[in-house]
Amino acid sequence: MLPPSHPLRPRPALFRLLARTLLLGGLATAACDASARAGRPAGAVSDSASGTVSPGSARPAQAAVPAEAKGAEATAAALARNDGPAPAIRALYVNRFAAQSRKRMPHFIALADSTEINALVIDMKDEFGLNYHSADPKFAQNAGTMGKVRDVKAMLDTLKAHGILPIARIVVFKDSVTALLHPEWSIRREDGSIWRDKKGTPWVNPYHRELWDYNIGVAEELARMGFGEIQFDYIRFPEPYASLPKQIFPGADGMSKPDAIAAFLKEANDRLDKLGVRATADIFGLVTTVNGPLEVAQWWEKLAPVTDVLLPMVYPSHYVRGSFGIPVPNAEPYKVVNISISRARERDAKLGITGGEHVRPWLQAFSLGKPDYTAEEVRQQKQAVYDAGYDGWVLWHPGSKFEPFEAALERGELVSHKKEHPTPAPKHVE
């Protein structure tokens, strides 16, 4: 596995030409239609990796692969290998619509070619269904009606030719498409009807084993297609608002909610490990600092041992006034992120989890409330991660519009900046 300080890839101009040829030639993606765009406004903020406000592909037979491209592909493969501690990943979020865009994807690739970015987190199954055309009829029936990436193989070949790790984001339990197609898999009300959240969205039942198998099966299919990491999102229960009907979970059989979430992730990790692919998970930022489980059943000590990488969403705008003694957390991005990620490192150490990049936070690259966020706030968050002892992070913008924040990205190859911290002797944590 490449050390975090290793230069991650060559980026000759030839690769930019290759990306534009593949993507603009229509081999990789197609723009989504107007009805798809209407389903999720680009500026909307949902709640998962967005917080509370969302083994390799064969090359094209007709194309000769330059020696430099082969070297870059080897770099991408090294980042994806699951035979050692997780490497440093610095990534951008690419939503469903951006992944389908013939304009946006070349821009992301060019950005990675010229900066520290070495991975893209791409929506492949979101709240609206699959973002690709599955070859498995069982998966295809749950695909939903939204536009999809037309040629995933071409997209992956292009990313790997640039040494970019493709990460597939999979939304798991907030799945209205599957809940409506398979009501027997949904969370119920006491009268037996489908339970819905405040927005009228049905959720699937995290206890349902067939649902586990479906989502892990999708993950396995994407891994075989060539994604180097599978990132699970919405691996949680919906908020139990008192104003909503009681949630009923058929099949719980006495298992606690945190144990159900951990059991799903362990099974996913075990199955993906056989394919040599990491299983990672998005969690609420508060999980790093709250002792015990959140109401949505995320609990650090349950999740950390069964997941290759945890990605807490430590967006300063999502912390209430007074958190950590900070009057306005959104105005103190360094403090919020540093406290949250330092606490995650400490909890990992108590579990005996040390070395590598087991914690990779989502950072705020959007404005919500005051002050408005700029590249400077992103820089502060990045530095907070490094000072807490990690090198990796992912930038979140719900519309995947990072232009206002690109000045925060370092030019050239990824360079390690993390601060080393003494590792305390592990001790048992209940």
**Range name among 6-10, 33-37, 121-125 with the lowest pLDDT average:** 33-37
Residue, of 47 and 160, whose pLDDT is higher: 160
Looking at residue 49, its pLDDT comes to: 65
- Whether domain 13-40+49-408 has CATH 3.20.20.80: the reply is yes
Q: Over the stretch 254-267, which tens digit does the pLDDT of each residue have?
A: 999 999 999 999 99
* Sign of the torsion formed by the C-alpha atoms of 80, 85, 91 and 96: positive
Distance separating alpha carbons of residues 141 and 122, to the nearest angstrom: 21
Quickly state the pLDDT bin for 142 (edges 50, 70, 90). Answer: confident
The pTM (predicted TM-score) of the whole model is 0.84
115 φ/ψ angles, rounded to the nearest 5 degrees: -135, -175
Distance separating alpha carbons of residues 178 and 203, to the nearest angstrom: 9
3-state class (DSSP) for residue 349: helix
Distance separating alpha carbons of residues 384 and 393, to the nearest angstrom: 11
The first and second tokens of residue 428, run together, are: 């048992």
The count of other CB atoms within 10 Å of the CB of residue 200 is: 7
**Which amino acid would we find at residue 172?**
V
Looking at residue 279, its pLDDT comes to: 97
Peptide bond into 166 cis (omega under 30): no
Quickly state the pLDDT bin for 71 (edges 50, 70, 90). Answer: low
Question: How far, rounded to the nearest angstrom, does the alpha carbon of residue 415 sit from its chain's CA centroid?
Answer: 22
Q: Over the stretch 285-328, which tens digit does the pLDDT of each residue have?
A: 999 999 999 999 999 999 999 999 999 999 999 999 999 999 99
Contact 218, 169 (CB under 8 A): no
Contact 421, 390 (CB under 8 A): no
Distance separating alpha carbons of residues 168 and 165, to the nearest angstrom: 10
Quickly state the pLDDT bin for 77 (edges 50, 70, 90). Answer: confident
Q: pLDDT above 70 covers what percent of the chain? A: 81
3-state class (DSSP) for residue 35: helix
Quickly state the pLDDT bin for 422 (edges 50, 70, 90). Answer: confident
Quickly state the pLDDT bin for 145 (edges 50, 70, 90). Answer: confident
Please, what's the b/e burial string for 204-219 (b: 16 or more CB within 10 A of its CB; e: otherwise)? Answer: bbbbbeebbebbbebb
Looking at residue 117, its pLDDT comes to: 98
Distance separating alpha carbons of residues 245 and 289, to the nearest angstrom: 29
Looking at residue 424, its pLDDT comes to: 62
Tell me the average pLDDT of the chain: 85
Looking at residue 102, its pLDDT comes to: 93
Reply yes or no on whether the pLDDT at 93 is more than 90.
yes
- The stretch 124-135 carries a mean pLDDT of 94
Quickly state the pLDDT bin for 45 (edges 50, 70, 90). Answer: very low
Q: pLDDT above 90 covers what percent of the chain? A: 75
Burial of 52 (0-12, 13-18, 19+ CB in 10 A): middle
- The stretch 325-335 carries a mean pLDDT of 98
